[in-house]
Amino acid sequence: MAISGSAFVPGIELSRIMYEEEVQPILRNAFPGLRYAAARVGSGSEVLGFDSPRSADHEWGPRLEIFLTAGDRVEHGDDISRVLAERLPKQVRGWPTHFQESDDPRDPVGHMQMTDGPVNHRVGLYDVDGWVSDRLGLASWKAELGARDWLAIPQQRLAEATGGVVFHDGPGNLSEMRRRMAWYPDQVWRYLLACQWQRVSQEEAFVGRCAEAGDDLGSAVVAARLVRSLMHLCLLLERQYAPYGKWLGSSFGRLPVAEALGPVLRGVLAATDYPAREARLCDAYEAVASLQNASDLVSPVDPGRRPYHARPYLVLHAERFAQALARTVTDPGLQGLPLVGNVDQWSDSADLLDQPHAIRAAFSALG
């Protein structure tokens, strides 16, 4: 909690203040000549710019990541952490630098509290290669990454690694890592777009079929899934990593297309009967299909709605876009793969997506 009367400060700004006014002078005086990078990256709503006063209830506050060489982290890491615990102020702009972990195993996160003794700070000490291995599951980001390396990294983790701010660069080339991971290689991008259109194709006819069978709830659920798939498509087309579910709508809302498309998607979700649901979905299909055509990745595909074969449902037949994109995928590591995509496209289990090494094992098992 903040000291009474202190105003909310966006977490990135709070981290910058703590680094420039407190951590940097401490490191300069206590460890002269130490080479390091300082950043606010990784987990935390502030890294993606979505934090608010509500965020302050757990693992939010004056936080920082310090990146050393692997050798310096082993040799000096404990001393640096101890010195910071002893010398950091008790608060920054009214926000405590001490985090108290709960004794309740059901609530293991840290909460800001004032303390009279050394602060249990949130200045993490890492080396870049070790951090990348832990967060992204890569043995080395410096090596040429294969297509399947990219497919095994959750987009949330890529957003965390490339979001936030580097306040000071140093050993390990943190900024270079972020530049290299900023977006997918062209061939991976095309493949992921093809896979996302294929997801739309798999379910677009079910909205009508469920309704025809008297299952309006099922029709609405499928429509909501299609809305989610279209939002992911828009993020892919705008070269933005999609965060996990909590921030998907917020991230979509930042896209240029959101102003026009957002009300259409909300109309799909608000529809109480099949005809209105189908009409709004088709409006959304056509808008996203036009966005795809404007990307010039493939020759334009007719974006208009059409019947689903002989059945009386209007759809896009999104597989047409999937096939057009798939034909442009020439990377040997991707050619011939089924259009199942990356880990985000075949699993939304938060427990799986939080285990990058398990994901890579799953990809190996899938061949």
pLDDT in tens, 42-54: 999 999 999 999 9
- Phi, psi at residue 341, to the nearest 5°? 85, -155
Strands 63-67 and 122-126: parallel
Q: What is the pLDDT of residue 171?
A: 83
180's tokens: 């290299």
281's tokens: 């979905």
Residue 367: pLDDT band (50, 70, 90) is low
Cβ atoms 155, 346 nearer than 8 A? no
pLDDT surpassing 80 at residue 29: yes
pLDDT surpassing 50 at residue 162: yes
Cβ atoms 80, 23 nearer than 8 A? no
256 vs 350, more confident: 256
Cβ atoms 193, 328 nearer than 8 A? no
**pTM over the 0.85 mark:** yes
Find tokens 């965020």 and name the residue. 55
Question: Among residues of the chain, what percentage have pLDDT more than 70?
Answer: 98
d(CA 294, CA 7): 44
What average pLDDT is seen over the chain? 93
> At CA 119, angle to CA 114 and CA 123, rounded to 5?
120
Q: Which amino acid is at 274?
A: Y
360 vs 322, more confident: 322
How does pLDDT run across 77-96, given as a tens digit for each residue? Answer: 999 999 999 999 999 999 99
Q: Tell which residue, 298, 293, 291, 289, has the closest CA to residue 328.
A: 298
How does pLDDT run across 219-269, given as a tens digit for each residue? Answer: 999 999 999 999 999 999 999 999 999 999 999 999 999 999 999 999 999
pLDDT surpassing 70 at residue 208: yes
Residues constituting the chain: 367
d(CA 127, CA 37): 9
Residue 2: pLDDT band (50, 70, 90) is very low
Residue 353: pLDDT band (50, 70, 90) is confident
Q: What is the pLDDT of residue 4?
A: 44
Q: What is the mean pLDDT of residues 216-221?
A: 98
Question: Among residues of the chain, what percentage have pLDDT more than 90?
Answer: 83
For the ranges 157-171, 197-211, 342-356, the lowest mean pLDDT is seen at 342-356
